[in-house]
């Protein structure tokens, strides 16, 4: 099993160190993670949260490209509806070039009401904007010479998008998918799969199996690292610490839920909007998150491994460098012999 | 006198090294420039040129933030009409934070027809878009808490732009200005001044004097480094080399002119669109550019110094590391005692 980081999520959530301190702490955290053997970092893109989540994700990855040597630099995800497709294609290609071809470009439609509200964009447009932007980026990265584009949301004439990305035909594209239909479409589109923070090992394993089958039915060889599963990580030793970590996790889920919910209430299929009450949330954190001692986390990860998961992205909200080191030194070696790197 | 780099302009112009090689060569060039004593780098932002000019300038600056320690990291300029103001404010603030407060944000309206054509944007909108975007960025950087914005081109509801920049109240804003009226407005707006690549030392000195007077009339102390003058630099020793450097310079001017000209012909006041014929261009390169032996360049710079110029940005299109070293070792020491760093 390979491990990566997910988030850019060392947010203050009210504890208020400066934005600058937070960002530099996170950079040090990622650099140490590479030394400990983490093989990727996937950054979120979020706006207007009020608790300092990463907004300019590709700028932070550009800096990390200079500070790291081997790890893959990913987004999970760039929210395409908010971006000018040509500027985004240039920015992502620049990160790919700067990093020596280490970009993994995760893309998505966005799911938080708060952000669409901020941009004054109708969430109903998200799907069409996403499709158009993604289609433009693929075209920009695979077209020789100049081309034009006529769309519903963007238009270009006689453009050539420079620089070209280093990875050919282009950096791997990743997308979060949940339903069987979306997962099969992801495979058929030749994209890699991101699975979000919720669901039991069995449920997640089933999704990976659907993805693998679809990739193989499409006539390609399934790469077990082309499917990344995100889990919250909280190392703790005492019952008090365990409670505090559950509370931290629940506080984070509640923040995300608040930012996601439209005033009209939850939208069907948006799994960030309906976590239920405190007891429901506690049950979810027990089931989904990696909260416990190193031994408990190893045991939990063995279950994920048995379910077919080979690429685990860890999200340690408000987490410590100490937890990272414990994971790197005590948990990761248990899975090293299975790594195919 | 202080020296900086201008451009990001080590473009192939048809010689076609890969985009990646070009970008990494440029990075090495900037890193060595810092070692030689250059105090700033100002990157252009250009799109769809077909000869590899920097497009994602703030991503390249993010990488340079990690590779350099002291030098100021500037844009000259970010073209505001093409950018989503909130995303740009986040990206620029992120560069400021990543670099420890070294961002100099040059902003402008854009002047190349080719780029507006590519974005399918009417150049007549450039001024209004520029003003609205700049006003939003200032507001985002100086407002405590959430705010909304209603404009002609962009709208936002209840946004808080994170991260906050490190420099307070915000990174210095720079703008290219040419006419006396624009220069006076730049001073009154509290912005720094960029003077482009054309004009004799006398003409440039006069502009600096207008700027200084306006700053002092506004009740502030004039900082001689708040006005940067860009000049092309080509070190050469033989008549053949001199001719080749003039030809290179003229070829670059012609490229820019072609990208700038609308099909309907030159627009009044756009000094990139009307360089005239080959003989006119040669006269301009003789007058404006720093082309010659180190001794000739020193003599020319002394004239600029006598005219009141203290901050010179050098643009070495297709230039060599060797020329940079010669400048750093033979030319810069002649001006070091006047530096007020």
CATH number at residue B288: 3.20.20.30
Listed residue (A88, A125, A93, A95) closest to A110, CA to CA:
A125
Task: Give the domain extent around B201.
Answer: 2-336
- CB proximity B122 to A under 8 Å: no
Contacts of A160 in chain B (CB under 8 A): 48, 50
Q: Which residues contact B159 (CB under 8 A, 6 or more apart)?
A: A47, A48, A118, B86, B140, B146, B147, B148, B149
pTM (predicted TM-score): 0.94
Give pLDDT tens digits for B100-127: 999 999 999 999 999 999 999 999 999 9
The model's confidence at residue A9, banded by pLDDT at 50, 70 and 90, is: low
Instruction: Domain count for chain B, please give it.
Output: 1
Q: Do B160 and A50 touch (CB under 8 A)?
A: yes
Mean pLDDT highest for which of A1-10, A254-263, B129-138? B129-138
Touching B: A residues 66-95, CB under 8 Å: 66-67, 82-84, 86-87, 90-91, 93-95
Using CB atoms, which residue from A20, A58, A159 is nearest to B59?
Answer: A58
Q: If you average pLDDT over each of A232-246, A273-287, B179-193, which comes out highest?
A: B179-193
Do A142 and A72 meet the contact criterion of CB atoms below 8 Å apart? no
Across the interface, whether the CB atoms of A162 and B49 are under 8 A apart is answered: yes
pLDDT tier at A52, thresholds 50, 70, 90: confident
| Closest partner CB to B23 (pick from A63, A91, A97) | A97
Joined together, the tokens standing for residue A279 give 């007891």
Q: Is residue A146 part of a domain?
A: yes
Please say whether the dihedral angle defined by the alpha carbons of residues A240, A246, A248 and A250, taken in this order, is positive or negative: negative
Kindly list the residues from chain B whose CB atom is less than 8 angstroms away from the CB atom of residue A162.
Answer: 19, 47-50, 52-53, 55
| Interchain CB distance below 8 Å, B55 and A159 | no
**B194 CB contacts (<8 Å, ≥6 apart)?**
B42, B76, B77, B106, B174, B175, B176, B177, B227, B228, B230, B313
Q: Assess if residue A341 is contained within a domain.
A: no
Contacts of B239 (CB under 8 A, 6+ apart): none
Interface contact A60, partner B, CB < 8 A: yes
CB contact under 8 A, A19 and B160: no
Name the pLDDT band for A252 (thresholds 50, 70, 90).
confident
Beta carbon pairs, A and B, within 8 Å: 154
> Is the CB of residue A312 less than 8 Å from the CB of residue A231?
yes
In this complex, is the C-beta atom of B136 within 8 Å of any C-beta atom belonging to chain A?
A: no
Is it the case that residue A15 has pLDDT exceeding 60? no
Q: Is A238 on the interface with B (CB under 8 A)?
A: no
pLDDT tens digit string along A281-300?
888 888 888 999 999 999 99
Q: Does B87 map to a domain?
A: yes
B197 touches chain A (CB under 8 A): no
* Residues ≥6 apart with Cβ < 8 Å to B154: B84, B85, B86, B132, B133, B136
Is residue A175 a part of any domain in this protein?
Answer: yes
**Rounded Cα–Cα distance for residues A105 and B154 (Å):** 27
The answer to the question of residue A281 being in a domain is yes
Cβ contact B166–A20 (<8 Å): yes
Query: B145: which DSSP letter?
Result: S
The secondary structure element, H or E, covering residue B152 is: none
Average confidence (pLDDT) over B235-240: 94
Instruction: Show the tokens assigned to B127.
Output: 């001024």
Evaluate whether residue A12 is within a structural domain.
yes
Query: Cβ(B195)–Cβ(B228) under 8 Å?
Result: yes
Which residue of B63, B113, B160, B168 is the best one to mutate when testing the A interface, meaning the one whose CB has the most A CBs within 10 A? B63
Inter-chain CB proximity B93 and A60 less than 8 Å: no
Residues of A in contact with B53 (CB under 8 A): 162
User: B19-36 and A85-98 are packed helices; what angle lies between their axes, rounded to 10 degrees?
Assistant: 70
Give domain status of residue A120, yes or no: yes
pLDDT band at B16 (very low <50, low <70, confident <90, very high): low
- Residue B167 falls inside a structural domain: yes
Tell me how far apart the alpha carbons of residues A1 and A123 are, in angstroms, rounded to a whole number: 37
C-alpha B138: how far from chain center: 20
Confirm or reject contact between B143 and chain A (CB < 8 A): no
């Amino acid at each position: 099993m390979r491990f990566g980081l997910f988030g850019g999520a060392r947010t203050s959530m009210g504890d208020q160190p400066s934005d600058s301190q937070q960002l530099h702490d996170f950079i040090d955290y990622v650099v140490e993670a590479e030394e400990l053997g983490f093989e990727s970092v996937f950054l979120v893109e979020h706006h207007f949260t009020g608790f300092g989540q990463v907004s300019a994700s590709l700028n932070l990855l550009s800096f990390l490209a200079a500070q790291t040597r081997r790890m893959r630099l990913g987004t999970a995800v760039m929210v395409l509806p908010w971006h000018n497709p040509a500027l985004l294609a240039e920015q992502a290609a620049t990160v790919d070039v700067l990093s020596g071809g280490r970009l993994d470009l995760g893309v998505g439609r966005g799911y938080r009401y708060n952000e669409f509200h901020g941009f004054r964009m109708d969430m109903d447009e998200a799907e069409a904007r996403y499709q158009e932007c993604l289609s433009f980026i693929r075209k920009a990265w695979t077209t020789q010479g100049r081309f034009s584009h006529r769309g519903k949301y963007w238009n270009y004439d006689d453009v050539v998008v420079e620089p070209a990305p280093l990875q050919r035909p282009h950096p791997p594209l990743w997308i979060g998918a949940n339903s069987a239909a979306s997962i099969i479409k992801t495979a058929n589109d030749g994209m890699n799969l991101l699975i979000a923070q919720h669901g039991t090992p069995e449920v997640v394993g089933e999704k990976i199996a659907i993805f693998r089958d679809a990739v193989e039915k499409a006539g390609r060889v399934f790469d077990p690292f082309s499917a990344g599963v995100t889990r919250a990580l909280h190392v703790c030793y005492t019952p008090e610490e365990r409670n505090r970590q559950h509370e931290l996790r629940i506080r984070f889920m509640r923040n995300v839920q608040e930012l996601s919910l439209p005033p009209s209430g939850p939208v069907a299929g948006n799994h960030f909007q309906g976590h239920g009450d405190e007891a429901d949330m506690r049950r979810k954190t027990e089931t989904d998150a990696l909260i416990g001692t190193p031994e408990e986390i190893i045991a939990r990860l063995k279950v994920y491994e048995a379910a077919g998961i080979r690429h685990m992205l860890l999200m340690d909200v408000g987490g410590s460098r100490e937890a990272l080191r414990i994971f790197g030194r005590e948990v990761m070696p248990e899975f090293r012999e299975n790594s195919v790197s």
